[in-house]
Amino acid sequence: MEIIRSVDQMRRRSAEFRDAGSVVALVPTMGALHEGHLSLVRLAGELADVVVVSVFVNPTQFGPSEDFERYPRDLDEDARLAADAGADVVFAPEAREVYPAGFETVVHVQKLTRKMCGAFRPGHFEGVTTVVAKLLNVVRPNVAVFGQKDGQQAAVIERMAADLDMGVEIVRGPTVREPDGLAMSSRNAYLSPEERKDALVLHEALEYAEQLYRCGESDAALLLDGMRTLIGSVKGAEIQYVAAVDAKTLEDVPELGPGVMFALAVVIGKTRLIDNVVLGERKRGEEAGGSHDDG
């Protein structure tokens, strides 16, 4: 596996892959790779001949009081894990290459970034879309793979790629969870043992909503209330938002159905965690047990 540190070299190598007729996939990451990322690398390997994993802790998507400085960094370990998962190239550019002196352009997706995480992290999505647009321009992949765990980010990037005719297919890979349900995240490492237990409430709230939906409940507001109550019962948990939205358009939905995403952001101690679940079709017979509409 190759490690490429320069933008020019990455551009040249990608052109060679394309000239050889290879389908190229990009998996953008900020490193600190865990099983969630590695599942995306493996998915990329099923979709393409060549898999490029970018590792870049992007300063522009962190707010001034966020964890940019202490975000975990270990390129050697990331490269080893990426290679084991089937990556062909790790692209790890220096910040000065990504943002050279005089850099002043941003990519801004207007509406989708206003709510949910965007409301609590001003400028965050501009940082994400700008760096992802740059990575896509350098690597020029046929397909780029993002985690469903960052559901709003995936929707924003899909919008950007479509609006700017980027000619890349954006694929969402499923969320990978610890055995007890906690969604894998590089930020889980910040949690103390006590906070780690409290953090389970994110998944519990999503499971509660999904199960009631499966039993026939369709009233989003009712389930959002129940989720807030459940999370509120954990002393160390502070809700930023709990939402029921269309997974693609991020419009709020009053009525639940397939494609609706329950999404939440909760601060546990000092660590902000996000998670979501996208509802599927209700299977025949699952409604038995009754919706509150029936009664």
Supply the residues annotated as catalytic: 37
Cα–Cα nearest to 248, from 256, 258, 259, 264: 259
36 binds ligand PAF (CB under 6 A): no
155 binds ligand PAF (CB under 6 A): no
131 binds ligand PAF (CB under 6 A): yes
150 binds ligand PAF (CB under 6 A): yes
Q: And the tokens for 219? A: 């009233």
Alpha-carbon distance 184 to 187, whole Å? 9
Binding region for ligand PAF (CB under 6 A) out of 28-36, 115-123, 160-168, 188-196: 28-36
CB 51 within 8 A of CB 45: yes
CB 30 within 8 A of CB 59: no
Look at residue 240 and give its three-state secondary structure. strand
129 binds ligand PAF (CB under 6 A): no
Q: How far is the CB of 270 from ligand PAF (least distance, A)?
A: 20
Alpha-carbon distance 200 to 264, whole Å? 13
Binding region for ligand PAF (CB under 6 A) out of 8-16, 126-134, 215-223, 235-243: 126-134
Alpha-carbon distance 124 to 289, whole Å? 42
The answer to whether the Cα torsion of 249, 255, 261, 262 is positive or negative is: positive
Q: Which is nearer to ligand PAF, 61 or 188 (CB)?
A: 61
| From candidates 7, 33, 52, 58, binder to ligand PAF by CB under 6 A | 58
Q: How far is the CB of 179 from ligand PAF (least distance, A)?
A: 23
Q: What does the binding site for ligand PAF look like in residue numbers (CB under 6 A)?
A: 28-30, 58, 61, 128, 131-132, 150, 153
